[in-house]
Amino acid sequence: MTRVFSGVKPTGHLTLGNYLGAMRQWAAVDQHRADALFCIVDLHALTVDHDPARVRRLSRQAATLLLAVGLDPALCTVFVQSHVDEHARLSYVLECVATDGEMRRTIQYKEKAARERERGGSVRLSLLTYPVLMAADILVYGADEVPVGDDQAQHVELTRDLAVRFNQRYGHTFVVPRATFPAVAARVMNLQEPTSKMGKSDDSGPGIVYLLDEPDVVRKKIMRAVTDSGREIVYDREERPGVANLLEILAACTGGNPEALSGAYESYGSLKQDTAEAVVELLRPVQERHRALCADPGYVEGVLRDGAERARVLARPTVDAAYRAIGLLPAV
């Protein structure tokens, strides 16, 4: 059976981008067709300046939201990264096949390191090695597929490189995974800056739709979305990123096609109105389930406990094999 692994990082409230780019596929498709593991990758949240209490709160919230979007613990494994030591253990081994040059070349490192420096802060070493830990997350479970949004493509490519390099040097140990992307909305853009990704850790609140935004807040944000100059509604990501983003969001919500939808609208107002209502309807059941789950924190905790237990069982043999292959003396 195909093994699938993916994760979310608890660095902010989850967004419409997270949902359309990744979580929706996990719930609607992946958990039904594969042996799927979904992880709240809390260790990754420590790579930039962080508040411990906030990371804890966001980790709990992310777990609750993963269940609220429809992940079913009877079908898949939901757990927290730091509950399974094997991620960090394998990460160290992979640091011994990765190079500092390939880490420095990653887009996210360059962008985030620049942002930290602009704020006058220092860059944590873990930010540089972030992609290695991410590779460990994936390789430790022998995942075949990694369903992600567009922005993670380079990291999954690096994971493949590390797996191939390790296998060539030390003997076949890792499955070489591949990334999968949703057909539409693989990169949802910020409503106020449609040339930048809608990112949960960004400061631009009005441009980001959060999964737990009240319906009226969602409506307001979408109605105020920046559109482009030019009156015609055409789907062109390069020249008309604002309109293209709305068309993609609407298409993703309604199961349509952005190109075809562009022909159905004559004004920005009606496109925005329909997009806003489609998003409100999409989020309604998620928010309802989220409310119900918040009333039962014991249930969520139990899911995470069982999930970590299962994940450990799957992860341990891979780490043992990697330790042996790279030359570490087995413990007796």
Residue 141 near residue 322, CB atoms below 8 Å: no
> End-to-end distance of the chain based on CA atoms, in angstroms?
33
- CA–CA separation, 326 and 169 (whole Å): 9
Question: Which residue's Cβ lies closest to ligand TYM?
Answer: 21
Min. distance of Cβ 329 from ligand TYM in angstroms? Answer: 30
Residue (254 or 324) nearer to ligand TYM, CB: 254
Asked if 187 interacts with ligand TYM (CB under 6 A), we say: yes
Asked if 151 interacts with ligand TYM (CB under 6 A), we say: yes
Min. distance of Cβ 190 from ligand TYM in angstroms? Answer: 8
- CA–CA separation, 113 and 109 (whole Å): 6
Among 7, 73, 207, 241, binds ligand TYM (CB under 6 A): 7
* Three-state secondary structure call for residue 305: helix
Binding string to ligand TYM for residues 42 to 71, with x set by CB under 6 A, is what? --x---------------------------
Total residues in contact with ligand TYM, by rule CB under 6 A: 26
Q: Is 285 annotated as a binding residue?
A: no
Apex 63 CA angle, 57 and 66, nearest 5: 140
Asked if 13 interacts with ligand TYM (CB under 6 A), we say: no
Min. distance of Cβ 266 from ligand TYM in angstroms? Answer: 28
Amino acid identity of 245? N
Residue (83 or 324) nearer to ligand TYM, CB: 83
Residue (73 or 149) nearer to ligand TYM, CB: 149
Q: Which of these is catalytic: 197, 220, 221, 272? A: 197
Active site includes 197? yes
Q: Is 188 annotated as a binding residue?
A: yes
Among 27, 68, 78, 134, binds ligand TYM (CB under 6 A): 134
Binding string to ligand TYM for residues 74 to 113, with x set by CB under 6 A, is what? ----------------------------------------
Length of the chain: 332
Q: Which of these is catalytic: 200, 220, 221, 272? A: 200
* Three-state secondary structure call for residue 34: coil
Helices 268-294 and 52-68: crossing angle in degrees, nearest 10, is 100
- CA–CA separation, 152 and 108 (whole Å): 9
**CA 272 vs CA 227, 252, 255: distances in Å:** 10, 14, 17
Apex 319 CA angle, 316 and 325, nearest 5: 140
Active site includes 221? no
Looking at the DSSP assignment, which residues form a beta bridge with residue 3? 35
Class of residue 34 by CB neighbours under 10 A (exposed 0-12, middle 13-18, buried 19+): buried
Which residues, 262 to 281, sit near ligand TYM by CB under 6 A?
Answer: none
Asked if 137 interacts with ligand TYM (CB under 6 A), we say: yes
- CA–CA separation, 158 and 128 (whole Å): 13
Min. distance of Cβ 258 from ligand TYM in angstroms? Answer: 14
Question: HSE (CB half, 13 Å, CA atoms) of 214?
Answer: 3
Catalytic residues: 112, 197, 200
State the binding site for ATP.
9-11, 17-18, 149-151, 188, 197-201
Interacting residues toward ligand TYM by CB under 6 A:
5-9, 17-18, 21-22, 41, 44, 134, 137-138, 146, 148-149, 151-152, 155, 186-188, 197-199
